[in-house]
């Protein structure tokens, strides 16, 4: 049976997973209520976080489809997958056209030499611009240096939600058959070289409580069987290991097999220290397969044991050793993450705020209590000069908000490189230091009244851009421990926005809101009303509290300042000062 290996790549929310789900449903690979986004956080947020592969059968051909994340923070998931497949399906929204992450994933794919095929999705949108989007895609291919073969890409038009694909927009269609036919026609069959000795390369890792570390790998040559193999690392070191189980995929389910042939994608168990990009071979002297490289992290932050006054009240796992074990387990499968275990605290390096937020969200759901410091950008020294990561930020907003956006990003060292007027507003492109991007998304939502679209992608390290002006709000800090009362909060809400409601338990040093003046202010949120036994008609006025701003992990990482920790527990997310007592904070400021 012939095999086709293809990855679906696109910007976030352009419809990759919807198309994959429709293909799987129509080929009988899954039920109507199953989805490729199986993780609980993926379902809640409606985004793909982990690259996952599935298998469908069409016209006696086995098609391995890898669904990849569209968010820039999970770019490492895409990079490693692209090496292991033979072509890519680029999905583009018929209204939005190519977006930053479209450019990022397509660039990687063209560099490897893939010949992409294009799917223009959501053609049923009232504002769909098919002709213009086709032109934009062609220009994007030219910008990225595509050769003549790559420029000769086929286009399929689809409505992923309805499970329909067409070769021409005006064609009649009732299913995804035109897309599956195009995959078989356009993607070259995987080389089935079963005569050569075995060579396979892992491109993804998984973990099983019974089998330990699992590797998802592409077999390039030969046949893989249960038994002894050699594992060659990138630096040429050879280890003798044994494969104890081999799985292929049927839909998203694993199916245990005795052997698998070249061209297929399999999951192997038994090699406890296998890593992405290593070569597993039958011959000790076999040539190494090309290494899989992943872009380096751009932000870092400290993970600490929770030592707040409320520590240990909600979580099951609170010790340093338990946090260490959990981070080591995460490194087994999360390639974009790096952790330094040498210091008093654990320094975690990631690809962006969302990348770290998803890790923290998973940990709190598992019962961990943890504190993290403010994310900081990784600054490198090259030839004696400081360099920092820069990002390309694309913003689509109604025209009346564009002035405020340009002013704010100018203060954050953003330089506009492009501005286009479109039917529904303005699309602007900025090049901006990552320091300027951190903490901006919430401000952007407020400035555009929720009507803007913001996306960014890492470009490169460039010379340090100087100081960045961040938000001007200060912190409102509780000076007492106890239950916050409505009477006290009613008087405090005029001084700024509150993060807590009435009857919330607070402790000394907890940040309970922000102050509009930009100064720190220590307040008493547990102060009650002085009662007397004198009656008067004008003494009691109704207390109307403004609903508080809810702090979640992402919002907390954005708004926290350098002298604060974000406390994450299974039930709560709180901001607190590093020095809980006011005297400690005054001393720390003096010593700066």
CB 79 within 8 A of CB 107: no
Across 86-90, 271-275, 537-541, the highest mean pLDDT is recorded for 86-90
pLDDT in tens, 443-453: 888 888 888 88
pLDDT value, residue 304:
92
Domain chopping of the chain, boundaries: 2-186, 199-281, 381-463
User: Does the pLDDT of residue 586 top 60, yes or no?
Assistant: yes
User: Does the pLDDT of residue 539 top 60, yes or no?
Assistant: no
CB 176 within 8 A of CB 22: yes
Long-range contacts, stretch 531-534, CB < 8 angstroms, 24+ apart: none
Tell me, yes or no, if the two domains 2-186 and 199-281 fold the same way: no
pLDDT band at 31 (very low <50, low <70, confident <90, very high): low
pLDDT value, residue 42:
65
pLDDT value, residue 43:
66
Closest CA to 376 of 186, 562, 188: 562
pLDDT in tens, 162-221: 889 998 888 888 888 888 888 898 888 888 878 888 888 888 888 787 888 888 888 888
User: Does the pLDDT of residue 538 top 60, yes or no?
Assistant: no
pLDDT value, residue 541:
67
Lowest mean pLDDT among 153-167, 304-318, 535-549: 535-549
pLDDT value, residue 481:
92
User: Does the pLDDT of residue 506 top 90, yes or no?
Assistant: yes
Q: What is the CATH number of domain 381-463?
A: 3.30.70.240
| Residue of higher predicted confidence among 422 and 144 | 144
Percent of the chain with pLDDT over 90: 16
pLDDT value, residue 255:
85
Q: What is the CATH number of domain 2-186?
A: 3.40.50.300
Lowest mean pLDDT among 36-40, 120-124, 377-381, 458-462: 36-40
Helices (H) and strands (E) in the chain, counts: 15, 34
Q: What average pLDDT does the chain have?
A: 85
Lowest mean pLDDT among 76-85, 410-419, 428-437, 576-585: 76-85
Label the pairing between strands 376-377 and 279-281: unpaired
Distance CA 387, CA 206 (A): 35
pLDDT value, residue 510:
93
pLDDT band at 39 (very low <50, low <70, confident <90, very high): low
Q: Domain 199-281 belongs to what topology?
A: Elongation Factor Tu (Ef-tu); domain 3 (2.40.30)
pLDDT in tens, 540-566: 567 788 899 889 888 888 888 888 899
Give the contacts of 89 (CB within 8 A, at least 6 positions apart).
6, 7, 8, 9, 116, 117, 118, 119, 183
Distance CA 294, CA 280 (A): 20
pLDDT value, residue 346:
92
CB 2 within 8 A of CB 64: no
The strand pairing partners of 253, in sequence order, are: 250
What is the pTM assigned to this prediction?
0.81
CB 62 within 8 A of CB 86: no
In three-state secondary structure terms, 553 is helix
pLDDT value, residue 275:
82
pLDDT value, residue 368:
93
Distance CA 158, CA 136 (A): 18
User: Does the pLDDT of residue 38 top 70, yes or no?
Assistant: no
Length of the chain in terms of residues written: 592
Report the pLDDT averaged over residues 410-415.
Answer: 89
pLDDT in tens, 345-397: 899 998 888 888 889 998 999 999 999 999 988 888 888 888 888 888 888 88
User: Does the pLDDT of residue 287 top 90, yes or no?
Assistant: no
Would you call 506 exposed, middle or buried from its count of C-beta atoms within 10 A (0-12, 13-18, 19+)? buried
Report the pLDDT averaged over residues 404-427.
Answer: 86
| Residue of higher predicted confidence among 150 and 441 | 150
User: Does the pLDDT of residue 536 top 70, yes or no?
Assistant: no
């Amino acid at each position: 049976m012939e095999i086709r290996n293809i990855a679906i790549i696109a910007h976030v929310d352009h419809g990759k997973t919807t198309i994959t789900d429709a293909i799987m449903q129509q080929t009988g690979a899954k039920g109507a209520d199953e989805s490729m986004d199986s993780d609980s956080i993926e379902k809640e947020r409606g985004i793909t976080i982990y690259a996952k592969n599935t298998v469908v059968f069409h016209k006696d051909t086995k098609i391995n489809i890898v669904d990849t994340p569209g968010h820039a923070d999970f770019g490492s998931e895409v990079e490693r997958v692209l090496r292991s497949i033979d072509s890519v399906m680029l999905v583009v929204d018929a209204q939005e056209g190519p977006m930053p992450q479209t450019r990022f994933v397509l660039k990687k794919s063209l560099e490897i030499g893939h010949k992409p095929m294009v799917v223009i999705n959501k053609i049923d949108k009232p504002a769909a611009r098919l002709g213009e989007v086709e032109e934009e895609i062609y220009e994007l291919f030219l910008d990225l240096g595509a050769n003549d073969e790559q420029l000769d890409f086929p286009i399929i038009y689809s409505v992923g939600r309805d499970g329909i694909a067409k070769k021409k927009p005006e064609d009649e269609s009732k299913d995804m058959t035109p897309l599956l036919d195009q995959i078989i026609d356009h993607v070259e069959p995987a080389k089935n070289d079963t005569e050569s000795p075995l060579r396979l390369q892992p491109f993804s890792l998984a973990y099983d409580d019974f089998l330990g570390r699992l590797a998802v790998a592409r077999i390039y040559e030969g046949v893989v069987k249960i038994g002894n193999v050699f594992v060659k690392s990138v630096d040429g070191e050879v280890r003798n290991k044994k494969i104890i189980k081999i799985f292929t995929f049927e839909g998203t389910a694993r199916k245990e097999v005795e052997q698998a042939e070249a061209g297929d994608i399999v999951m192997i168990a038994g090699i406890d220290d296998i890593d992405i990009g290593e070569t597993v071979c039958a011959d000790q002297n076999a040539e190494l397969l090309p290494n899989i490289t992943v872009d380096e992290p751009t932000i870092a932050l400290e993970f600490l044991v929770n030592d707040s006054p409320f520590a240990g009240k909600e979580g099951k796992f609170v010790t340093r050793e338990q946090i260490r074990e959990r981070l080591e387990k995460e490194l087994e499968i999360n390639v974009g993450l790096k952790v330094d275990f040498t210091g008093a605290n654990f320094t975690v390096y990631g690809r962006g705020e969302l990348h770290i937020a998803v890790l923290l969200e998973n940990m709190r759901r598992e019962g961990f209590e943890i504190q993290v410091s403010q994310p900081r950008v990784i600054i490198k020294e090259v030839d004696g000069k400081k360099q920092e990561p820069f990002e390309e930020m694309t913003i689509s907003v109604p025209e009346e908000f564009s002035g405020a956006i340009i002013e704010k990003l100018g203060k954050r060292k953003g330089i506009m490189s492009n501005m286009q007027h479109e039917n529904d507003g303005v699309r602007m492109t900025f090049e901006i230091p990552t320091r300027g991007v951190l903490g901006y998304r919430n401000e952007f939502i407020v400035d555009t009244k929720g009507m803007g679209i913001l996306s960014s992608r890492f470009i490169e390290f460039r010379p340090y851009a100087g100081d960045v002006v961040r938000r001007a709000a200060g912190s409102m800090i509780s000076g007492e421990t106890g239950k916050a009362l409505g009477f006290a909060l009613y008087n405090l809400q005029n001084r700024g926005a509150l993060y807590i409601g009435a009857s919330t338990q607070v402790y000394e040093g907890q940040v309970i809101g922000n102050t509009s003046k930009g100064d720190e202010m220590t307040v008493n949120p547990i102060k009650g009303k002085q009662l007397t036994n004198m009656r008067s008609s004008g003494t009691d006025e109704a207390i109307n509290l403004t609903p508080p701003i809810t702090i979640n992990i992402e919002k907390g990482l954005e708004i926290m300042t350098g002298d604060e920790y974000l406390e994450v527990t299974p039930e709560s997310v709180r901001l607190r000062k590093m020095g809980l007592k006011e005297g400690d904070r005054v001393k720390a400021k003096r010593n700066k």
